[in-house]
Amino acid sequence: MLWYIGRRLLQVIPVFLGATLLLYGLVFLRPGDPVAALGGERGLSPAAELAIREAYHLDQPFFMQYLYFLKGVFTFDMGVTFTGRPVVDVIAQAFPVTFQLALMAIVIETVFGIGFGLYAGIRKGKLFDSTVLLWSLLLISLPTFVIGFVMQAVVGVQLGWLPITAGRDPDFISLLMPAIVLATTSFAYILRLTRTSVVENITADFVRTARAKGLPRGKVMTRHVLRNSLIPVVTFIGIDLGNLMAGSIVTEGIFNINGVGGTLYQAIVRGENVTVVSLSTVLVVVYIFANLLVDVFYAVLDPRIRYA
Amino acid sequence: MTPRKRLVGLGAFALASSLVLTACGGGNSGDDATGDGASTGIVTISNGEPQNPLVGSMTNETEGGLVVQQLYSGLVYYDAEGVVHNEIAESIESDDNQTWTITIQDGWEWSDGTPVTAANFVDAWNWAGYGPNGAKGAGFFEPIEGFAEAQGVPEFDEEGNVSGMAEEPTAETLSGLEVVSDTEFTVKLTQPESDFPIRLGYSAYFPLPDAYYDDTAAFGEKPVTNGPYELESWEHDSEIKLVPNEAYDGPRKAQNGGLDFIVYTDENTSYADLQGGNLDILENVPTSAMSTFEEDLGDGAISEPSASFAAMTVPEWLPEFQGDAGHKRRQALSMAINREQITETIFAGTRIPATDFTSPVINGWTGEIPGNEVTTYNAEEAKKLWDEANEEDPLPDDYVLTIHTNTDSDHQAWVEAVCNGYINDLDIKCEMTGYPTFDEVLNERDKGPDGKVDGLFRAGWSADYPSLQNYLGPLYSKAALAGSNDGRYESDEFDAALKEAAAAPSLDEANVLYNKAQEILFKDLPGIPLWYYSTTAGHSENVDNVEFGWDSMPLLYEVTKTE
């Protein structure tokens, strides 16, 4: 098992190099001139433009720029943004809050998704099951920003139950509404995945055997049905952690959370190569580790799975 | 993220002069009448993250500009109407509009206790004017003698980007600046500029203390300042807190307990916070609330003309717009735009049909410039002119008129409306050529005839200082060919008219002459005026005395808030 994890960690290196090179190339190929945009309609004086180009190595060819970036990564000095802030600071500020938000969303969607899914699967075809299925379909088809704005207007502005925005000092309470919004779509998916798996497993041979040998119903459900039903769900959650961190742009915008999504979007618009690639690189690493965690978890859930 | 000029493309602007003043009369906190009973509440304002260090000559975007204006005091300041008043200046005088003698008042201090001297101005201007320092506001010092020597001569690659220096700067300071005493300095310009005193309220001309030059980067994070407020903390991407400067004794004395600039990335979010009472002043009403905000906010709604102006530039290099036939086509294109209808239906009345090349909030503006009939919708006349032009100089059968714009904002709707007007009224083909981002379209425009622009292009402009010159010179003079004159318009007659206005003995006379220069623009139509932007903003019930200046920025020092 340790050997397996070590090998997987070694794979991070080529993935890291490939992903950063690809990302760097993509941002580089983005048409337009970020330095020109800094001047707006008035334009910068040529001397000022030159000073900025040199400061950000934008006068160098593509590959040299990429090498400067790599050097920065290994010395933890990735340079500064166009506003003069160290990129390391930007990362240190953006990730904790996004991570907290994503974690809260994961907990919400997992607890409610698996709970509702399990119950719906056991009561297949009953009123609860069909109601839940209908609602989850509705949640999947609603875009996040619709749910976000509606919740903000109703729960935040009109009822005043939860803070409208989380901008200044995001704590648990002010992140609760954004986390719920962020969790809705995945909640619906997890619910449906769990339900389908449970429905499948509940008629499996090993469940019938367990019942036949007189195990209490609760034990059968948790130890045998649920545990075996969780493999596809865990896969989904693993991928979702990455999605939630990178894909919360909309939610973060609505609730004014200065996390990864918003920062990344602004950096892309501005053409700040270094910021875009640095933030994405951290996301790539998060993805890799989330996937590794999922694979390790398979072995825990299903003893038949062994890694060597 | 937004350079000041770019904002014009991105959304609505804010400016109000008299509308909100009435709100304080009815309020119950009229304790500011004596100017003595300042309120103690901390006012929260929606803003974006400043894109530059908090230094006047480094800041060229509205987000930082608003903060810098509160932190520093310059020679002069603008009131809500755009009228210039002395702040640190005692007098700004000149006999010939070319050599200016500036004396400053005694007794001003920096927050580190050192006095504000004439040298603080001269050093700051020299620093910004010296090319290698890379100040974003360097261009504002161009009129001063010695600017060219301090900038050097740049080299350009085939794409028109700066690639290096052909000649390094030969001077580190501007030869036109001279310190006479602690309270007096002189400025020599390369040519007369009658509106020079008006310009001096712009943030690029703010002074800097000696402490600045020790560590310019660190200074921008925690500046030593001399304005009505001091920086308490700057939490990046989140919040900037200012507290009143107790030592400040000028005309912009803070009437509140401090300012909190809250960074928002989404205007809809700040609007929700304003409605929920979490925010006091909203600088921009989101597009989605444009038709409802006056109802939503009641007395807190603000809608007034702003200093931003939109036009479509007609590039001089297109053969179909040259000569007599080209001239008729330009007129036809202008007359075939139903500005009233577009501003009403697409912009919910938050833009105002333009009748000149400047803005109604600028001193000297008049809607009565001879030749501006072309801004009145007249489909018949337009069609007649277009057909006449085609008889003189026929267009190919497959001619398609293109309008080039960035589409990352709300431009698509009006471009399509204008095109549909052309299709219906002129019976021609018209298409939009879209670019995903503003810098892309800017790039193509800069390339001129070598770029992709083969039709009209969108141009937005807002003034940095309230002067008619600021609209005309930077966009249509020959001197601006390397700058923002992207249509490459060249007219000796127009340049001469600008020069005459710049040498006028008084501002009023200068304004008359600037408007005369506009007559030449209406004759040649290097651009087609579209509309003026409005300031659409709002404030909560918790604050009083909210006024927006000519530049769409709130006059924050006046705002009162009781705790």
Give A28-55 pLDDT, tens digit per residue.
777 767 777 777 666 777 777 787 777 7
- Residue B33 clears pLDDT 60, i.e. is over it: no
| A26, A41, A269, best to mutate vs chain B, most B CBs in 10 Å | A41
- Residue B167 clears pLDDT 70, i.e. is over it: yes
Over range B496-513, report the average pLDDT.
Answer: 92
- Residue B312 clears pLDDT 80, i.e. is over it: yes
| A42, A181, A255, best to mutate vs chain B, most B CBs in 10 Å | A42
Q: Give me the pLDDT at residue A247, please.
A: 65
Over range B459-478, report the average pLDDT.
Answer: 90
Which residues from B are below 8 Å from A269, CB to CB? 1, 408, 437
For the stretch B208-216, contacts whose Cβ atoms lie closer than 8 Å and that sit 24 or more positions apart, written own/partner, are B208/B55, B208/B56, B208/B120, B208/B123, B208/B124, B208/B127, B209/B110, B209/B112, B209/B114, B209/B116, B209/B120, B210/B114, B210/B120, B210/B123, B211/B110, B211/B112, B211/B114, B212/B55, B212/B124, B212/B127, B213/B123, B213/B127, B216/B53, B216/B55
Q: In whole numbers, what is the pLDDT of chain B averaged over residues? A: 87
Q: B507 to chain A, minimum CA–CA distance in Å?
A: 24
B313 phi and psi angles, rounded to 5 deg: -85, 140
Residues of chain A with pLDDT under 50: none
Which residues from A are below 8 Å from B5, CB to CB? 39-42
| A95 touches B: beta carbon within 8 Å | no
At B159, the pLDDT band (50, 70, 90 cuts) reads low
A178 - beta bridge partners? none
More confident residue, B36 or A148: A148
> Residue B395 has what DSSP assignment?
P
CB B234 within 8 A of CB B240: yes
Q: Give me the pLDDT at residue B28, please.
A: 36
Q: A37 to chain B, minimum CA–CA distance in Å?
A: 5
Q: Helices B379-392 and B411-425 meet at what angle, rounded to 10?
A: 70
From B348, B347, B349, B356, select the one nearest B411 (Cα to Cα): B347
Q: What is the pLDDT of residues B525-557, one digit of tens each?
A: 999 999 999 999 999 999 999 999 998 899 999
Q: What is the pLDDT of residues A272-281, one digit of tens each?
A: 777 888 888 8
B280 phi and psi angles, rounded to 5 deg: -95, -45
Q: What is the pLDDT of residues B367-414, one digit of tens each?
A: 899 999 999 999 999 999 999 999 999 999 899 999 999 887 778 899
| A92 touches B: beta carbon within 8 Å | no
| A44 touches B: beta carbon within 8 Å | yes
pLDDT > 90 in chain B, percent: 65
| A96 touches B: beta carbon within 8 Å | no
Provide the pairing of β-strand B177-181 with B89-93.
unpaired
pLDDT > 70 in chain B, percent: 93
Across the interface, do B443 and A31 touch by the CB < 8 Å criterion?
A: yes
Q: Give me the pLDDT at residue B326, please.
A: 94
Which residues from A are below 8 Å from B6, CB to CB? 37, 40-41
Residue A107's alpha-carbon distances to A112, A147, A182, A184, B191, in angstroms, are: 8, 19, 11, 12, 69
More confident residue, B423 or B216: B423
For domain A88-198+226-301, the CATH class is: mainly alpha
Among chain A residues, the shortest Cα distance to B261 is held by A168
Radius of gyration of chain B (CA): 24
Among chain B residues, the shortest Cα distance to A35 is held by B439
User: Residue A37: enclosing H or E segment and its boundaries?
Assistant: helix A34-39
- Residue B4 clears pLDDT 90, i.e. is over it: no
The three-class DSSP label of residue B48 is coil
Interior CA angle at B346 toward B430 and B265, to 5°?
Answer: 110
| B149, B222, B439, B443, best to mutate vs chain A, most A CBs in 10 Å | B439
Provide the pairing of β-strand B400-406 with B456-462.
parallel
Can you tell me which residue has the tokens 């090349």? B357
Which residues from B are below 8 Å from A157, CB to CB? 272, 275-276
Provide the pairing of β-strand B400-406 with B429-435.
parallel
Can you tell me which residue has the tokens 């270094």? A274
Q: Give me the pLDDT at residue A114, please.
A: 92
Across the interface, do A165 and B269 touch by the CB < 8 Å criterion?
A: yes
CB B212 within 8 A of CB B55: yes
From A248, A232, A242, A254, select the one nearest A291 (Cα to Cα): A242
Q: Give me the pLDDT at residue B315, please.
A: 94
- Domain boundary assignment for chain A: 88-198+226-301
From B123, B88, B91, B127, select the one nearest B109 (Cα to Cα): B88
Over range B249-277, report the average pLDDT.
Answer: 90
Across the interface, do A48 and B51 touch by the CB < 8 Å criterion?
A: no
Enter the tokens of residue B553. Answer: 């920025």
Provide the pairing of β-strand B560-561 with B351-353.
unpaired
Is B29 exposed, middle or buried, given 0-12, 13-18 or 19+ CB atoms closer than 10 A? middle
CA distance B392 to B385: 11
Neighbours of B156 (CB within 10 A): 13
Among chain A residues, the shortest Cα distance to B480 is held by A42
Q: Give me the pLDDT at residue B1, please.
A: 37
Among chain B residues, the shortest Cα distance to A85 is held by B236
Q: Give me the pLDDT at residue B484, please.
A: 83
Residue B145's alpha-carbon distances to B58, B151, B188, B420, B534, in angstroms, are: 21, 12, 6, 49, 37
More confident residue, B219 or B38: B219
Over the range B83-110, which residues count as b (16 or more CB within 10 Å of their CB) and which as e?
Answer: ebebbbbeebebeebbbbebbbbeebeb
CA distance B552 to B115: 32
Q: Give me the pLDDT at residue B369, please.
A: 94
